[in-house]
Amino acid sequence: MIKADFHTHSEFSVDSRMTLSEMAERAMELGLEVLCVTDHYELGQCDDLGAEELFDVPRYFDALREVKERYMGKIDIRFGVELGLVKSSKEELHNFVAANNFDFIIGSSHSSNGKKLSNLEFFEGRSEQTAFLECFQSILENVKNLDCYSVYGHLDYVARYGPTKGRNFRIADYHEVLESILRIIIGNGHGIEVNTSGFHYGLGNPHPHKDILALYKELGGEIITVGSDAHTPKRIGADFGRVADLLKSLGFRYYSTFKDKEPMFHNL
């Protein structure tokens, strides 16, 4: 049974209003033992309002420390961040990570070549397959050049926003680039996450698709965290049972949590 949610967003993210106390209370209600808060930090990437998605780091750590102490002995709160990875911001991103004592860092791609993947503009004037390939090629450039993350988040996030909402997403069309991405992630001692929000968005799979998870396993990947990507209390821990069954069916025996950026392994 999965007892840790390692992808959640509080009111420190621009797209959530959930308080840290609400998160802790809901996690305890579900019987979780560990909750990692991973608010957005999108340095060098602009949201639709033209502003970077950054939080006040000292205030974030102070708030997390307070809730960690308040719930000590009831649930273990970990310090995390979802870091928007952009090759052009390599130095700033590495400096940010080095300067802050996060337990865990999700590296994510929410944009490609300056365009947000959630914006239909990213897909305009070309085939869905071409757009997907561009996104995976940009992720490949990220893993070649950036080493400031624990796991790569929702690798096929782009499929959620395509015109067909993932119905025409076939892993075989991108096998070469996906294999290259996964080989580098594994070779650098990092992992990937299983993000249950894919079920929430009607894709029928978590992020990434089960075929990508199978490829990761085939290539020797072992580090795999599980996260709900919750922005509201009801989404915390969502579909964890489905993910546990899926991972076991693919031959995985463990899921991971992180503390002080070091992975720990737990039986599924």
pLDDT tens-digit map of 46-86: 444 344 678 899 999 999 999 999 999 999 999 999 999 98
- DSSP class of residue 143? H
- DSSP class of residue 15? T
Among 43-47, 168-172, 238-242, 248-252, the range scoring the smallest mean pLDDT is 43-47
Q: Where are the alpha helices (DSSP H) in the chain?
A: 20-29, 57-70, 90-99, 128-145, 175-187, 197-200, 210-218, 240-249
245's CB contacts (< 8 A; 6+ apart) are none
**1-42 confidence digits (pLDDT tens):** 999 999 999 999 999 999 999 999 999 999 999 999 999 998
Q: What integer pLDDT is reported at residue 47 of this predicted model?
A: 47
Q: What integer pLDDT is reported at residue 166 of this predicted model?
A: 87
pTM: 0.96
Contact between 222 and 191 (Cβ < 8 Å) = yes
Q: For residues 166 and 120, what is the distance between their CA atoms, to the nearest angstrom?
A: 14
SS3 191: strand
Tokens of 88: 């052009």
Tokens of 246: 């899926």
Mean model confidence pLDDT for the chain: 94
Q: What integer pLDDT is reported at residue 43 of this predicted model?
A: 79
Percentages of the chain per state (helix, strand, coil), in multiples of 5: 40, 25, 40
Q: Is the pLDDT of residue 139 over 70?
A: yes
Q: What integer pLDDT is reported at residue 52 of this predicted model?
A: 63
* Domain 4-267 class, CATH top level: alpha beta
Strand pairing report for 262-267 and 254-259: antiparallel
Contact between 112 and 71 (Cβ < 8 Å) = no
Question: Measuring CA to CA, which residue among 135, 121, 115 is closest to residue 208?
Answer: 135
SS3 89: helix
Q: What integer pLDDT is reported at residue 239 of this predicted model?
A: 98
Q: Average pLDDT, stretch 192-215?
A: 97
- DSSP class of residue 183? H
Q: For residues 78 and 154, what is the distance between their CA atoms, to the nearest angstrom?
A: 20
Question: For the chain, how many residues are written?
Answer: 268
What is the share, in percent, of the chain residues with pLDDT greater than 70?
97
Q: Average pLDDT, stretch 236-248?
A: 98
Enumerate the β-bridge partners of residue 34: 4, 76
Q: How far is CA 185 from the centre of its chain?
A: 14
Q: What integer pLDDT is reported at residue 96 of this predicted model?
A: 95
Q: Is the pLDDT of residue 260 over 80?
A: yes
